[in-house]
Structure 1
Amino acid sequence: MKKTPNIIIFLLCLTVFIHNLFYAVPLINNNVYGVKAVYAKADDNLPLISDGSTVDYMSYIPDMKCSQEAKEALSISNPEISLDAKSAILVDADTGEILYHKNALEPIFPASTAKLLTALVVLDWNRTSETVKVGKEVSMIPYDSSRAGLRAGDKLKIYNLLEAMLLPSGNDAAYVLAVYTGRKSLKDSKAEEMSAIREFTRLMNDKARKLGAENSCFISPDGYDAIGQYSTAYDMAQIGLNALKNKTIAQITKERTTTLKMVNGRTLPLWNTNALINKDSVWYESHVIGLKTGTTGLAGRCLISAAETDSGPVLSVVMHSSSEGRWSDSLKLIKYGRKVMSANK
Structure 2
Amino acid sequence: MKKISNVIIILLCFTVFIHNLFYAIPLIGNNIYEVRAVYAKADDNLPLISDGGSVDYMSYIPAMKCSEEVKEALSVSNPEISVDAKAAVLVDAEDGKVLYHKNALEPIFPASTAKLLTALVVLDWCKTSEMVKVGKEVSMIPYDSSRAGLRAGDKLKVYNLMEAMLLPSGNDAAYALAVYTGRKSLKDNKADEMAAIREFTRLMNDKARRLGAENSCFISPDGYDAIGQYSTAYDMAKIGLKAIKSETITKIAKERTATIKMVNGRALPLWNTNALINKDSMWYDSHVIGLKTGTTGLAGRCLISAARTDSGLVLSVIMNSTSEGRWRDSLKLIKYGRKVMSANK
**TM-score normalized by structure 1?**
0.92
- Correspondence for 2:49: 49
**Is 1:240 equivalent to 2:225 in the alignment?**
no
What amino acid does structure 2 have at the position aligned with 1:297? G
- Measured in 1, the distance between the counterparts of 2:35 and 2:234 equals 31
- Measured in 2, the distance between the counterparts of 1:66 and 1:84 equals 24
Q: CA deviation at 1:61?
A: 0.1
Q: CA deviation at 1:104?
A: 0.2
Residues 245-267 of structure 1, C-alpha deviations (whole Å, 9 max, x = no match): 01100110010001001111110
SS in structure 2 at match of 1:305: strand
Within a 5 Å distance, the mapping from 1:154-303 to structure 2 comes to 154-303=154-303
What amino acid does structure 2 have at the position aligned with 1:37? R
SS in structure 1 at match of 2:302: strand
Residues 318-337 of structure 1, C-alpha deviations (whole Å, 9 max, x = no match): 00000000000000000000
Q: Which has the larger Rg? A: 1
SS in structure 1 at match of 2:312: coil
Return 5+ residue gaps in structure 2 as ranges: 1-19
- Measured in 1, the distance between the counterparts of 2:262 and 2:309 equals 37
**Is 1:38 equivalent to 2:26 in the alignment?**
no
Q: CA deviation at 1:125?
A: 0.2
- Correspondence for 2:144: 144
SS in structure 2 at match of 1:65: coil
- Measured in 1, the distance between the counterparts of 2:184 and 2:274 equals 31
Q: CA deviation at 1:38?
A: 3.0
- Correspondence for 1:341: 341
What amino acid does structure 2 have at the position aligned with 1:290? G
- Measured in 2, the distance between the counterparts of 1:172 and 1:224 equals 12
- Measured in 2, the distance between the counterparts of 1:74 and 1:175 equals 35
Residues 57-98 of structure 1, C-alpha deviations (whole Å, 9 max, x = no match): 000000000011111000011111110000000000010000
Q: 1:109–1:134: structure 2 CA closer, same or farther, 3 Å change rule?
A: same
- Correspondence for 1:11: none
- Measured in 1, the distance between the counterparts of 2:168 and 2:310 equals 30
- Measured in 2, the distance between the counterparts of 1:250 and 1:174 equals 17
The answer to whether the 8 A contact 1:105-1:234 is kept is yes
The answer to whether the 8 A contact 2:168-2:270 is kept is yes
The answer to whether the 8 A contact 1:40-1:143 is kept is no
SS in structure 2 at match of 1:245: coil
Q: CA deviation at 1:165?
A: 0.2
What amino acid does structure 2 have at the position aligned with 1:73? A
What amino acid does structure 1 have at the position aligned with 2:116? L
Residues 218-245 of structure 1, C-alpha deviations (whole Å, 9 max, x = no match): 0000000000000000000000000000
Q: CA deviation at 1:41?
A: 5.3
The answer to whether the 8 A contact 2:25-2:142 is kept is no
What amino acid does structure 2 have at the position aligned with 1:35? E
> How many residue pairs align between the two structures?
325
Q: 1:21–1:257: structure 2 CA closer, same or farther, 3 Å change rule?
A: closer
Q: CA deviation at 1:35?
A: 2.4
- Measured in 2, the distance between the counterparts of 1:36 and 1:163 equals 34
- Measured in 2, the distance between the counterparts of 1:23 and 1:31 equals 22
**TM-score normalized by structure 2?**
0.92
Q: CA deviation at 1:30?
A: 2.0
- Measured in 1, the distance between the counterparts of 2:155 and 2:22 equals 30
The answer to whether the 8 A contact 2:88-2:318 is kept is yes
Q: CA deviation at 1:22?
A: 9.4
Q: CA deviation at 1:27?
A: 6.6
The answer to whether the 8 A contact 2:216-2:232 is kept is yes
Post-superposition, which runs of at least 4 consecutive aligned residues in structure 1 deviate over 3 A? 20-27, 40-44
- Correspondence for 2:73: 73
What amino acid does structure 1 have at the position aligned with 2:248? T
- Measured in 2, the distance between the counterparts of 1:149 and 1:42 equals 17
What amino acid does structure 2 have at the position aligned with 1:132? V
- Correspondence for 1:15: none
- Measured in 1, the distance between the counterparts of 2:190 and 2:146 equals 27
Q: CA deviation at 1:269?
A: 0.3
Q: What RMSD over aligned residues (CA atoms) do the two structures have, in Å?
A: 1.5
Q: 1:320–1:27: structure 2 CA closer, same or farther, 3 Å change rule?
A: farther
- Correspondence for 1:317: 317
Residues 145-171 of structure 1, C-alpha deviations (whole Å, 9 max, x = no match): 000000011100000000000000000
- Measured in 2, the distance between the counterparts of 1:171 and 1:177 equals 10
